[in-house]
Structure 1
Amino acid sequence: MLCVVQLSLSSCGDDDLKKVAKLSKKVSLDTNRTLGVEIIYSDSAKVKAKGFAPVLDKITPASGAMFQEMPKGVKIQFLDDKLAITGSITSDYAIMKEAEKLTIFKRNVVVVNQSLTFNTEELTWDQNKQMFFSPKGIVTRPDGSFANAVNFSAPQDFSYYTAGSGYGETYIDEKLGE
């Protein structure tokens, strides 16, 4: 057993150690952690959404753009003009890339409003386009109909959605034919 340990240690040369030292210098980060954060998003001086995160890390890399990470998840509530809740997004993890104006929600992402529930593992909000995008997910309507949506996109109010392809099940009201 001792011979195996000596062989594996002897395979590390001075060059490998120099590479590790160089890499460790490049990964230098400045992190600022805040607990119990409330984030307010407004547009044209009107509050549009409130977000809640148990942990918010503001990370400033040695080189590159600053970003904010919510490693313990986030819940965002969408608000109307009277500040009534019209919908929500929850996820187990989120990252806000400030320079790109992107927020990426990951793991157990659920969007809920009056017209749909959308479940996915990844959802991106593009602030410039004011649109949400997801590679795939399941859209469920209040009547129980559903669609497995691929290349999902929706405006920031989720008033409608589009999908490139998918399949699902829908229900038709028999009274409509009368």
Structure 2
Amino acid sequence: MLFSCEGNLQGVRDMEMPEDAPQAVGEGINLKYTDSGRVVATLRSDKMRDFTNKNFPYQDFPEGVEVEFYDDNNEKSTVTANYGVIYEDTGLIDLQGDVVIVTSDSTELTANQLYWDQNQNWIFTDLPNTIRFRNGALNEGMGFDSNQEFSNFRSRSNVGVQIIKEEQE
């Protein structure tokens, strides 16, 4: 009697893993992203699930996520959310539930959902949001988009208080 074995490790793995299961689960995540030896971001989360084995690969943070970004002057901006998803192929990040961004100049944005396009460095939402600027100005609106520095900001519909500095003649 003769037997033959074929080396099909991926086939064995597919049989062991339920179709909707992540390929990996991490707990107590504390990642540091560096560029040329300088820390540019840190990411912390109690749990991360890796679904990069799917046709549309992604990673999610079902128990919340906190990310700190450091600019060239080492000034920190912080993003927190109750849930986050990173879509690997598109570079899109979807943050949901009590999303709060605090920039290095103390501008604070709150929303229930926020998208960040990493490739375009662009932030946007179609949902209600509130932005409190450093100078005391307040913007409450339904939808906005902005570059990640908030220097090019477009609100779709909003009400708010704007602080305008008068110049003396």
TM-score category by the smaller chain?
Answer: 0.7 to 0.9
Q: Which amino acid letter does the alignment assign opposite residue 116 of structure 2?
A: W
* Partner of residue 97 from structure 1, selected from 87, 95, 104: 87
Corresponding residue for residue 50 of structure 2: 58
How far did residue 152 of structure 1 move? 1.3
TM (norm. structure 1) is 0.72
Q: Contact 1:46 / 1:81 at 8 angstroms: preserved in 2?
A: no
Q: Distance in 2 between matches of 1:146 and 1:158?
A: 14
Match of 2:72 in 1: 81
Please report the TM-score for the alignment, with normalisation by the length of structure 2.
0.75
For the 8 Å contact 2:45–2:66, the answer to whether it is kept is yes
Task: Give the CA deviation at 1:38.
Answer: 2.2
Percent identical residues? 25
- CA shift in 2, pair 1:166/1:42, >3 Å: farther
Kindly indicate whether the alpha-carbon contact (under 8 Å) linking 1:68 and 1:95 is maintained by their aligned counterparts in 2: yes
1:112 aligns with 2:102: yes
Give the C-alpha shift of residue 149 in structure 1. Answer: 2.7
Greater gyration radius: 1
Give the 3 Å change call, closer, same or farther, for CA 38–158 of structure 1 in structure 2: farther
Flag the structure with higher helix content.
1
Query: By how many angstroms is 1:54 displaced?
Result: 1.2
Q: Say whether residues 1:145 and 2:117 are aligned partners.
A: no
Q: Which runs of 5+ in 2 are unaligned?
A: 1-17
Q: What is the number of residues matched between the two proteins?
A: 151
Show structure 1 runs of 5+ residues with no match: 1-25
Quickly say closer, same or farther: Cα 1:170–1:28, change in 2 above 3 A. closer
